[in-house]
Amino acid sequence: MTKKILILSGSPKKNGNTAALVEWFMEGAGSRGAKIELIHAAFLQYKFPGCTSCRLCQKQKAYECVIEDDANLALRKMAAADVIVMATPLYFFAASAQLKVLIDRMFSLYKWDNAAGTMRTVLKGKTLLLLASAFEDAGMDALEKPFVLTADYSGMEYGSLLVSNAGESGDIRKRSDIHEKAVAFGKKFA
């Protein structure tokens, strides 16, 4: 079965460390025949900078946001994907704001019945992967924790490739060892 992989890149840089990890992951997954789509979160057009907490998504059958903008298009693609890859540089011990906008809008991909104490999501059974890099060796555990929790809460398989000490933007491209790891990571989840 050909896997549908959606990559959400949260870096505003088109040729930095995150871009290299994404390219290498795509190289590996593509070699196994995966159908891959890449969305650059930093270049999407939003009507609002994040979830407005209107909760209208909870009152409709569809698992989508009621705000029609580029985020909603990305959310629909998440619902249709087998594997969702979130790629981000480490910014102040967290994912980039560009990626966080989409993460917050993921609220619409869940349906809660608070009276019954239940939750359903279209993400259950999918795979969530994190690709991340940091200039130095600090903060990756803080960055990864929300992704691990999201996968566990959602009933998703989880995997990550975290690269500490990646250096300044683009420096990772000098690291053949990381290239090999990223390609292998892509192959593994294709």
Q: Taking the domains of the chain in order of start, what are their residue ranges?
A: 4-188
Q: Which one of 16-20, 93-97, 151-155 scores highest in mean pLDDT?
A: 151-155
pLDDT for position 126: 97
Tokens of 90: 């480490």
CA 37/CA 179 separation, integer angstroms: 20
- Mind listing the pLDDT tens digit for each residue in 98-107? 899 889 999 9
pLDDT for position 150: 95
Phi (first) and psi of residue 66, to 5 degrees: -80, -10
Contact 99, 56 (CB under 8 A): no
Residue 81 has pLDDT above 90, yes or no: yes
CA 141/CA 157 separation, integer angstroms: 18
| Homologous superfamily (CATH) for 4-188 | Flavodoxin domain (3.40.50.360)
The better pLDDT of the pair 110, 165 is held by 110
Residue 165 has pLDDT above 80, yes or no: no
Give this prediction's pTM.
0.93
Phi (first) and psi of residue 5, to 5 degrees: -115, 125
